Chain A
Amino acid sequence: MPEVVPYRPDDILEVLERHRVLYVVIGGLAAELRGSPYVTRDIDVTPARTRENFVRLAAALKELDAKLRVPDMDEPLEVPLDERSFEQGTTWTYVTKHGYLDVVLLPDGTRGYEDLRRAATREQLTDTVTISVASLADVIRSKEAAGREKDRAVLPILRQVLERSRKKERDDRGMEL
């Protein structure tokens, strides 16, 4: 693993888009795109669980030179990247040539892509990247269910962001009337 892992979310998302992978961005990056001031340095995505989509995802991961991160191992593992891989588990943590990428089929507290997709919105981030971003309420729901120390630490501010964004929506609607 390189000494400093790069973080190029634009490049990772561009590759996923080019391979027409169906996914929702979740976790810290989704929270940032929804207005959270917390900075993250990895990307979490929940892909649609269809064989066709897994084929596309595997192709994208190959292009990204993805290797599996394993806890307590210094070096990431080279693993076969094909659609069958995703039938063997629900969470895959990769390091790619553009940074960390976690593929989470069933984020805590959710029922996966179809569940998250309902409240997600399509957001154009750059000329070549338009992605589905999970709602902040769903990000919070998942972090609450996960209950890990790092998730609990950010929950108070994420709840404040949700509260302020709902207030802003109400104010904006009031301005339109």
Chain B
Amino acid sequence: MRAGLTQIELGARLGKAQSVIARWERGEAVPSLETVREVVRACDLDLTFFMSRFDDSNFTVIDEHLRMTPAQRFADLMARVRFHDRLEQRKATHRA
């Protein structure tokens, strides 16, 4: 992490077990906002917030990707790579 602390060192500063920090890092447990503030301060950092308009315009494409399995996503990626390669070949032929 940016503060250069190990999970054990951070745990000691917060008075929490290393396993708790590990669970946060793995996303298995979600600390409260107050706890996040304490964590940030324990790292000698500060947490600032600002408001912006919520943008959910990416959700449709994200949800479409999430409906696929990793294998389907990889197949989709390979299809896009082949399409890109064909495009590049055409461009090269055109230039020649």
Chain A positions within 8 Å of B, measured between CB atoms, are 4, 6-10, 32-37, 39, 109, 118-119, 123-126, 133, 135, 137-138, 141, 144-145, 147, 157, 160-162, 164-166, 168
A123 to B1, CA, bound (A): 27
Chain B positions within 8 Å of A, measured between CB atoms, are 1-2, 25-27, 58-59, 61-63, 65-66, 68, 70-71, 73-74, 77-78, 80-81, 84-85, 88
Determine if B71 and A35 form an interchain contact, defined as CB atoms under 8 angstroms apart: no
Interface pairs (16), CB distance under 8 Å:
A7-B85, A9-B81, A33-B70, A35-B65, A35-B68, A35-B73, A118-B26, A124-B71, A125-B71, A141-B25, A144-B2, A157-B58, A157-B62, A161-B66, A162-B27, A168-B63
A166 to B26, CA, bound (A): 13
A120 to B63, CA, bound (A): 21
Across chains A and B, which 9 residue pairs bring their CB atoms closest together, nearest first? A137-B27, A123-B70, A125-B74, A35-B65, A35-B66, A33-B70, A119-B26, A164-B62, A37-B61
Our count of residue pairs bridging A and B at CB distance below 8 angstroms stands at 74
Determine if B66 and A165 form an interchain contact, defined as CB atoms under 8 angstroms apart: yes
A34 to B25, CA, bound (A): 17
**With A9-B77, A133-B70, A137-B27 known to touch, is A145 a contact of B62 (CB < 8 Å)?**
no
Determine if B88 and A37 form an interchain contact, defined as CB atoms under 8 angstroms apart: no
Determine if B26 and A36 form an interchain contact, defined as CB atoms under 8 angstroms apart: no
Determine if A164 and B59 form an interchain contact, defined as CB atoms under 8 angstroms apart: yes
Additional A-B contact list (11), CB under 8 Å, known A35-B65, A137-B26, A147-B2 = A4-B88, A7-B84, A7-B85, A9-B77, A33-B70, A33-B74, A37-B62, A118-B26, A137-B27, A166-B27, A168-B66
Closest CB in chain B relative to A130 CB, distance in Å: 10
Contacts of B70 in A (CB 8 A): 33-34, 123, 125, 133
Contacts of B77 in A (CB 8 A): 9, 32, 39
Determine if A161 and B62 form an interchain contact, defined as CB atoms under 8 angstroms apart: yes
- Among the listed B1, B74, B81, which residue makes an inter-chain contact with A145, where contact means beta carbons less than 8 Å apart? B1
